[in-house]
Chains A and B, each alone.
Chain A
Amino acid sequence: MTIKDKTCIVGVGQTEFGHRGQFAHKSQSVQIGEALEEALEESGLDRTEIDGFSSFSMDSNDPSLLAPSLGIPNVNYAGMVFGGGGGGGCAAIANASAAILAGYAKVVMVYKIITQPPNMRFGASYGRAARSDPRSDFHRPFGLMAPGQFFSLFFRRHMHQYGTKTTHLAEVAVAQRFHATRNPRALMKTPLTIEDHQNSRIIADPFRLFDYCQENDGGAVILVTSAERAKTLKQRPVYIMATAQGGAASWGQGLTSQNAPDDIYPSSGHRHMAPRLYAMAGIEPKDVDVAELYDHFSGMVILQLEDYGLCKIGEGGSFVENGGIKWPDGNLPVNTHGGNLSEVYLLGMTHMVEAVRQLRGTSTSQVEDAEIALVTSGPSNLPSSSMLLRR
């Protein structure tokens, strides 16, 4: 038995998108309430039907406070995915599906808000502690302490092994910026060219300014229920075909340890999950119509294209060339909302929301007749996650 097609996403809601620190004064639980309001409204569900809570990334919004604050009478399921960053997003959807299928809950709200006050800037998270810890002792003394620095090492190796170029990084940034210009909610809408990218300042070589995601405050709520219940709700149901979580043990803390085996080192760490994901869904990579791939850094889009079999290993660079992931004419439109790079960075919640919009036919860069969407959550140390959705 798998979860295939037995549960659906029936409502999505987002907060206002803020710049880093903009909503720091606001309780995250207040923002969850705002996003939930929108999700309930569009779904047609009543708040009292929610009886499950699912989140990720060390969420501090405990249902013991959240449920009474939101007027939700029953807490029948509460679960959270291990790991920081954005790796657990799709796994939080997976947990919701499993809880519903197991009969623990009938409607699960998946939620995540990020706020980044000045002393909690996410990009410095690995170096911020006053002292080191047993694991960071192996990188922090050498000045390796920010996510982009770690990922730059993967991508540099990829360039060496496969001839990938920084203009390939530019292709990702440019395509996603184009998508953002079509999305009224996106925060970065100034058109971007390959030259603009190549002329931007280097942050951690080979990554430049425009290879980095934004830093934002805000979040989203996604409502999951059974396929049966979904039939009588307001939106066209979006079926959860398959989910995958985890990774290879040999990847382990591959981001921060930098010791994944040679063959998977220049990857996103997702390669181990992809076969399980497609097998559960019963489809092949060529069946994917649109992909919302977690883009903390442009280069990780290229590595995920390879790991999910959307192109051959080592050919991610040529796949994105000449607008290869640009809507509407690319090989495969990717991050049609603009992604973390150009729409907003909310730990990947918006990638899941955008996939739902694509499958409802309401994206601002709508892929014609999109039937199947791939969504991934943040490549990082294990566990990460991904999912396939269909209309």
Chain B
Amino acid sequence: MARETISNPTPYMPADLAELAPDGVTQPYWDHCNQGELRIQRCKACGTFRHPPLPGCPDCGARDDEWVRSEGKGRVFSFSGVYHPVLPNVAEYVPYNVVLVQLADAGGVRIISNLLGVALGDIEIGMPVELVWERVSPDVNLPRFRPAGG
């Protein structure tokens, strides 16, 4: 399928939406992002991935975890085109897309993100996507996605 490549605002969404407020459970995720690594929390006892981060494992209750690096490849699991700005600071960004990406190498967890460089009408469930980092501030590096080749 011929897909039109379009240019987006940079960053894709206003930076002030990404003034993060992590706690002890979520801080490692964002620290890894800031270093340019997408790492997903995994239970050390039973190996189950979980996202967003939780203090214990939903499957076995164990609290020991590890942060496993993902290549950031996956497929669009669902998506929406947002046409109505619910806050004034996104008024100049509509319509924008929100995609739910199911990672290929992290036990099926999904990342809420945006797809860059694609017209709304060209987004489809199942389309392959890959990670692209977008730094929105000195402290915040966000995982966004773009269509993967092929």
Are A and B interaction partners? yes
**B125 (CB) vs chain A CBs: closest residue:** A160
- Chain A stretch 158-206: residues in CB contact (< 8 A) with chain B: 160, 201-206
The A-contacting residues of B in range 98-150, CB under 8 angstroms, are 98, 100, 108-110, 112-114, 120, 125-126, 136, 140, 142, 144
Partner of B112, one of A142, A252, A262: A142
B86 interfacial by beta-carbon distance below 8 Å: yes
Q: Are the CB atoms of B100 and A153 closer together than 8 Å?
A: yes
A124 in contact with B112 (CB, 8 Å)? no
Q: Is A357 an interface residue (CB 8 A)?
A: no
A236 proximity list for chain B (CB < 8 A): none
B61-85 CB contacts (< 8 Å) to partner A: 77-84
B136 touches A141 (CB 8 A): yes
Number of A positions contacting B (CB below 8 A):
40
User: In the bound complex, do residue B23 and residue A131 qualify as a contact, i.e. CB atoms below 8 Å apart?
Assistant: no
* Closest chain B residue, CB of each to CB of A126: B86
Task: Find residues 243-271 in chain A having any chain B CB closer than 8 Å to their own CB.
Answer: 249-250, 252, 257-259, 262, 265
Q: Report the minimum CB–CB distance from B74 to chain A (whole Å).
A: 13
Interface of A, secondary structure class, is loop
The prevalent SS among residues of B at the interface is loop
B125 touches A258 (CB 8 A): no
- B20 near A259 with CB under 8 A, answer no
State which of A61-69, A143-151, A340-348 sits at the interface with chain B: A143-151
A141 touches B93 (CB 8 A): no
Contact of A144 among B21, B84, B98 (CB under 8 A): B98
- Partner pick for B86 among A127, A132, A152, A160, CB 8 A cutoff: A127
**A-contact 0/1 string along B9-22, CB 8 Å cutoff:** 00001000111111
| CB–CB A141/B18 < 8 A | yes
Assess the A141–B142 pair: CB atoms within 8 A.
yes
* A127 and B14 alpha carbons, distance in the complex (Å): 13
Contact B80 A141 (CB under 8 A): no
Task: Give the docked Cα–Cα distance between A230 and B8 (Å).
Answer: 63
A146 to B85, CA, bound (A): 10
Decide if B46 is an interface residue (CB 8 Å cutoff): no
Given contacts A143-B114, A153-B98, contact A137 B87 (CB under 8 A): no
Cβ of B26 within 8 Å of any chain A Cβ, yes or no, is yes
Closest to A249 in B: B58
Q: Is the CB of B112 within 8 A of A144?
A: yes
B140 to A, closest residue via Cβ: A141
User: Could you give 14 example pairs across A and B, Cβ below 8 Å?
Assistant: A128-B87, A132-B21, A137-B26, A138-B112, A140-B17, A143-B13, A143-B82, A149-B98, A152-B80, A153-B100, A156-B78, A157-B77, A250-B58, A258-B78
Add 10 more A-B contacts to A141-B136, A142-B113, A149-B82 (CB < 8 A): A124-B86, A127-B86, A132-B20, A138-B26, A139-B112, A144-B98, A154-B78, A202-B95, A204-B81, A259-B50
